[in-house]
């Protein structure tokens, strides 16, 4: 009987919340399974979202299409505001979810909780393509149970009820207080009533604490908690939708620190001041610098852009690269510390790509052929910037050898936004050159230039990738510049219609050219917009071009300043308004 009443309450609660309008809500209401059986899932068919699955070159395409997304189909006439992003919702990333759970009750998820990887779109985890599948839904329920049990155990501090106050009044206070924190906005009267019904069911056959625990479990699995909305007041038929102050507050906070708004942001939402771009920027600046230059959210975004956020998961053949396992953690740490140091100094894309120094421990410094620890000079080597560090070179390589194609495609797509079609889209069967102990990697792959079916693409890919052949598959300089007893040739010339076209002696020279490139700065701005807006589909193209126009008029941003590029978006109309349907 109690389970049936739980389901009845969930049905009523879901009706109040409009759960059926959000992906991931099941027939039993918003994914809350109170008897431990099934849970909510999004079983929609493949909607064409590119989820970062490696293509022939191991690199997800620089652009991907979201197809049908959460905001629904376009059944009406075209909007009068194509330069705005479409209204919609997006699921929290796993990093945002973990931070949001911790922020809600002050109870972190245990370290042993392994969260599944997010789907990628344009290399980023922040995107509207995230789904809630059955596996994730069951994990969320398991997490909610564990946190709810802690809430019950700490009920005297989280939901105190003393002095003879009616317990339901105390429960109402808990619902209103923590419901607003979970939903990142004040709850409606219907939502409060729905959660109070859950409290009554939990407390009826149990205790006050168990009733509070059931509410906590429901909050943690509610669509209002798991999804960020960009819907405004929800009124139909609007061409231009103003986001609610609380939606703007959430957007600022999750962009800056990947967690719910703090008290200062909530206060700004309450007084309506976030409509002012200068107020939005003040809060963004305050949050993004809260932890100094080691802003974990910004570091993660930049590493996702470069494709080096997964260094720790890379494996190499220990027979070929016996040093790699011992240096992998140092390479991962190097990229984090290096990017943080760049943000602390010039803070530009140019420095990120051209720096003649890095941050390394003694073992990694020795592997690079230099001495010291901490900030070390690389001026005596050909290493320049993040793309010549062990992390980047290891990620874009194979387990047993370097990878001209992976490295070339990474530079073209991620840094130059140069279109590189996959062989599968061209109906080309890939047959890699056979290993040859008497040839260098370059000599083996030069066969591409002789094959008309390959030459069109590989003229650009290989001529970029060959510059990195001075480094092996774990990013170490080849001894004496030799491979298989042959001298490695890293000299190339590029002529593909970009502003870095010309000759290069090696990847260090390529890095310097990229650092000075306007094409690279504009490509970087595109990627930062796609990450910040959580969109890279066709519906966001006009908004992206509008952003680029504003970015070009800001000297700091156009000069490659990383934070200033994000500030342009926060101050833009696209941050506070959406396009209606």
Domain boundaries defined on the chain: 2-42+56-67+88-229, 243-290+517-581, 299-515
pLDDT tens, residue by residue, 279-290: 999 999 999 998
| Rounded percentage of the chain residues whose pLDDT exceeds 90 | 75
One-letter-per-residue 3-state SS of 127-164: CCCCCCCHHHHHHHHHHHHHHHHHHHHCHHHHCCCCCC
Q: Is the pLDDT of residue 24 over 60?
A: no
Q: Which residue, chain included where needed, has tokens 């652009």? A: 63
pLDDT tens, residue by residue, 44-97: 323 322 333 333 344 333 333 333 344 444 444 555 677 899 999 999 999 999
Q: Is the pLDDT of residue 508 over 50?
A: yes
Q: How many CA atoms lie within 13 A of 574 on its CB side?
A: 28
Q: What does the pLDDT read at residue 44?
A: 31
Helix axes 94-105, 167-183, angle to 10 degrees: 150
| Residues 556 and 448 sit within 8 Å (Cβ to Cβ) | no
β 374-377/357-360 pair status: antiparallel
Section 449-470 average pLDDT: 86
pLDDT tens, residue by residue, 489-500: 999 999 999 999
Total residues belonging to the chain: 581
Nearest Cα to Cα of residue 113 among 148, 142, 151, 154 = 142
- Residue 164 neighbours by CB under 8 Å, 6+ apart: none
What is the average pLDDT score of the chain? 87
Residue bearing the bigger pLDDT, 2 or 141:
141
pLDDT tens, residue by residue, 532-545: 999 998 889 999 99
Q: Which of 111-115, 345-349, 367-371, 396-400 has the lowest mean pLDDT?
A: 111-115
Give the alpha-carbon dihedral of 412, 417, 422, 426, to 10 degrees.
Answer: -120
Round to whole Å and give the CA distance between 16 and 18: 6
Q: Which of 200-214, 420-434, 470-484 has the lowest mean pLDDT?
A: 420-434
Q: What does the pLDDT read at residue 526?
A: 98
- Residue 27 neighbours by CB under 8 Å, 6+ apart: none
Q: Which of 194-203, 415-424, 465-474 has the lowest mean pLDDT?
A: 415-424
- DSSP H/E element including 577: strand 577-579
Q: What does the pLDDT read at residue 9?
A: 52
| Residues 228 and 259 sit within 8 Å (Cβ to Cβ) | no
Q: What is the pTM of this model?
A: 0.87
Section 267-276 average pLDDT: 97
- DSSP H/E element including 493: strand 492-494
Q: What does the pLDDT read at residue 490?
A: 97
Round to whole Å and give the CA distance between 557 and 571: 13
Give the alpha-carbon dihedral of 136, 141, 145, 146, to 10 degrees.
Answer: 0
Q: What does the pLDDT read at residue 53?
A: 32
* 3 state DSSP class of 190: helix
Q: What does the pLDDT read at residue 456?
A: 75
Phi, psi for 471 (deg, rounded to 5): -120, 145
pLDDT band at 205; cut points 50, 70, 90: confident
pLDDT tens, residue by residue, 310-321: 999 999 999 999
Q: Is the dihedral of CA 508, 512, 518, 524 positive or negative?
A: positive
| Rounded percentage of the chain residues whose pLDDT exceeds 70 | 86
| Residues 115 and 98 sit within 8 Å (Cβ to Cβ) | yes
């Amino acid at each position: 009987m109690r389970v049936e009443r739980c389901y009845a309450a969930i049905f009523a609660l879901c009706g109040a919340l409009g759960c059926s309008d959000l992906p991931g809500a099941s027939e039993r209401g918003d994914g809350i399974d109170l008897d431990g059986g099934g849970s909510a899932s999004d079983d929609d068919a493949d909607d064409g979202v590119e989820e970062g699955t490696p293509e022939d070159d191991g690199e997800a395409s620089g652009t991907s299409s979201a197809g049908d997304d959460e905001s629904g189909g376009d059944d009406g006439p075209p909007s009068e505001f194509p330069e705005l992003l479409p209204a919609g919702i997006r699921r929290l990333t796993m990093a945002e979810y973990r931070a949001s759970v911790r922020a809600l009750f002050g109870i972190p998820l245990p370290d042993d909780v392994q969260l599944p990887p997010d789907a990628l779109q344009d290399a980023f985890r922040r995107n509207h393509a995230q789904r809630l599948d059955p596996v994730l839904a069951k994990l969320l329920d398991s997490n909610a149970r564990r946190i709810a049990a802690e809430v019950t155990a700490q009920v005297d501090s989280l939901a105190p009820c003393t002095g003879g106050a009616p317990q339901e009044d105390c429960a109402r206070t808990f619902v209103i207080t923590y419901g607003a924190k979970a939903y990142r906005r004040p709850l409606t009267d219907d939502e409060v009533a729905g959660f109070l019904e859950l409290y009554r069911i939990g407390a009826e056959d149990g205790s006050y604490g168990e009733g509070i625990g059931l509410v906590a479990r429901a909050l943690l699995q509610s669509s209002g908690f798991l999804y960020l909305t960009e819907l405004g007041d929800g009124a139909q038929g609007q061409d231009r939708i103003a986001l609610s102050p609380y939606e703007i507050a959430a957007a600022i906070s999750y962009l800056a620190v990947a967690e719910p708004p703090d008290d200062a942001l909530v206060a700004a939402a309450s007084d309506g001041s976030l409509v002012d771009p200068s107020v939005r920027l003040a809060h963004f600046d305050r949050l993004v610098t809260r932890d100094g230059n080691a802003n974990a959210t910004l570091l993660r975004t930049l590493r996702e852009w470069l494709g080096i956020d997964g260094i720790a998961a890379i494996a190499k053949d220990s027979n070929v690269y016996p040093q790699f396992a011992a240096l992998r953690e140092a390479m991962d740490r190097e990229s984090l510390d290096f990017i943080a140091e760049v943000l602390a100094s010039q803070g530009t894309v140019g420095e990120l790509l051209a720096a003649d120094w890095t941050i390394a421990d003694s073992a990694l410094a020795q592997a690079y052929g230099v001495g010291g620890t901490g900030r070390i000079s690389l001026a005596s080597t050909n290493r320049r910037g993040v793309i010549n560090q062990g992390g980047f070179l290891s990620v874009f390589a194979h387990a047993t050898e370097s990878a001209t194609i992976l490295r070339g495609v990474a530079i073209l797509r991620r840094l130059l936004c140069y279109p590189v079609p996959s062989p599968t889209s061209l109906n080309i069967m890939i047959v890699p050159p056979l290993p040859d102990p008497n040839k260098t990697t370059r000599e083996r792959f030069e066969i591409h230039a002789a094959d008309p079916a390959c030459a069109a693409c590989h003229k650009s890919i290989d001529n970029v990738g060959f510059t990195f052949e001075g480094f092996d598959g774990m990013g170490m300089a080849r001894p004496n510049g030799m491979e298989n007893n042959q001298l490695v040739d890293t000299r190339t010339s590029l002529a593909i219609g970009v502003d870095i076209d010309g000759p290069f002696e090696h990847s260090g020279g390529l890095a310097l050219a990229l650092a000075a490139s306007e094409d690279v700065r504009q490509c970087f701005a595109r990627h930062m917009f796609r990450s910040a807006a959580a969109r890279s589909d066709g519906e966001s193209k006009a908004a992206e071009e509008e952003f680029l126009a504003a970015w070009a008029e800001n000297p700091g941003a156009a000069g490659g300043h990383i934070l200033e590029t994000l500030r342009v978006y926060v101050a833009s109309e696209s941050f506070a308004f959406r396009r209606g349907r």
